[in-house]
């Protein structure tokens, strides 16, 4: 299983042998520990629960749950597996060297929250004219006619923007530094610095 919990450090660039510049995102990877293994017989599906970092204030139910892994993780995530994919046991450690340069991965994180945004920023609406008597500059305009006397769900209007779970697919591993526990991924990864990022190998 190729899956890790990491935190976003920031972005930089690398220069390849042919002279082209490539933007990469650096991800800090603390050692991940397997805290639970779920099976079809007991839980109805196959999955591996992994934890990262160390929690300072862990509740008693969680302490009992993590007793077998001998770790009190701060961040816990679960990855669903195929039937023949499970080769791990509780307490196993997964580190950055589980990935190698050139591997294709899917990256999941929470995008930056923008707060309450209007239609121009949120949905790229056009601005109204500011000449020839125009008075509607950034208003959304008409949102419907007389029929059916309601607004359908999904209508593009002003509202909360950002802070959504976003998955960027088919990125490549460009850097693996075991001394610094850093993985470099090509392209941009959603979310702010220090945000939690899940890396999973593409199937």
Block mean pLDDT (10 aa), the chain, length 203: 92 88 95 92 91 92 91 92 76 91 95 97 96 94 89 94 96 93 95 96 82
pLDDT recorded at residue 82 = 77
- What domains can you pick out in the chain, each with its CATH number? 3-116+164-201 (2.40.30.10), 117-162 (no CATH)
| pLDDT computed for residue 16 by the predictor | 80
Residue 187 backbone zone (phi > 0: left; psi -120 to 50: alpha; other: beta): left
Is 193 within 8 Å of 9 (Cβ atoms)? yes
What's the pLDDT score for residue 85? 63
Query: Distance of CA 1 to CAs 50, 94, 124, 168, 201, Å?
Result: 11, 9, 40, 19, 8
DSSP output for 134-185: ---SS-------STTSS--TT---SEEEE--EEEEEEEEEEEEETTTTEEEE
pTM of the model: 0.84
């Amino acid at each position: 299983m190729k899956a890790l919990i990491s935190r976003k450090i920031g972005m930089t660039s690398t220069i390849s042998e042919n002279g082209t510049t490539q933007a990469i995102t650096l991800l800090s990877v603390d050692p991940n520990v397997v805290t639970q293994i779920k099976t079809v017989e007991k839980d109805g599906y196959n999955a591996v629960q992994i934890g990262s970092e160390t929690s300072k204030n862990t509740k008693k139910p969680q302490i009992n749950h993590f007793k077998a892994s001998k770790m009190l993780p701060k961040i816990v995530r679960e990855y669903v597996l195929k039937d023949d994919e499970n080769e791990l046991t509780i307490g196993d450690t997964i580190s950055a060297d589980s990935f190698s340069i050139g591997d294709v991965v899917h990256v999941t994180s929470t995008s930056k929250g923008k707060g309450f945004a209007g239609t121009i920023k949120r949905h790229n609406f056009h601005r109204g004219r500011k000449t020839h008597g125009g008075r509607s500059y950034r208003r959304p305009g008409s949102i419907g006619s007389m029929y059916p006397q309601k607004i359908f769900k999904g209508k593009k209007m002003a509202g909360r923007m950002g802070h959504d779970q976003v998955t960027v697919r088919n990125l490549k591993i460009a850097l693996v530094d075991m001394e610094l526990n850093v993985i470099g991924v090509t392209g941009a990864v959603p979310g702010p610095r220090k945000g939690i990022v899940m890396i999973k190998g593409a199937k």
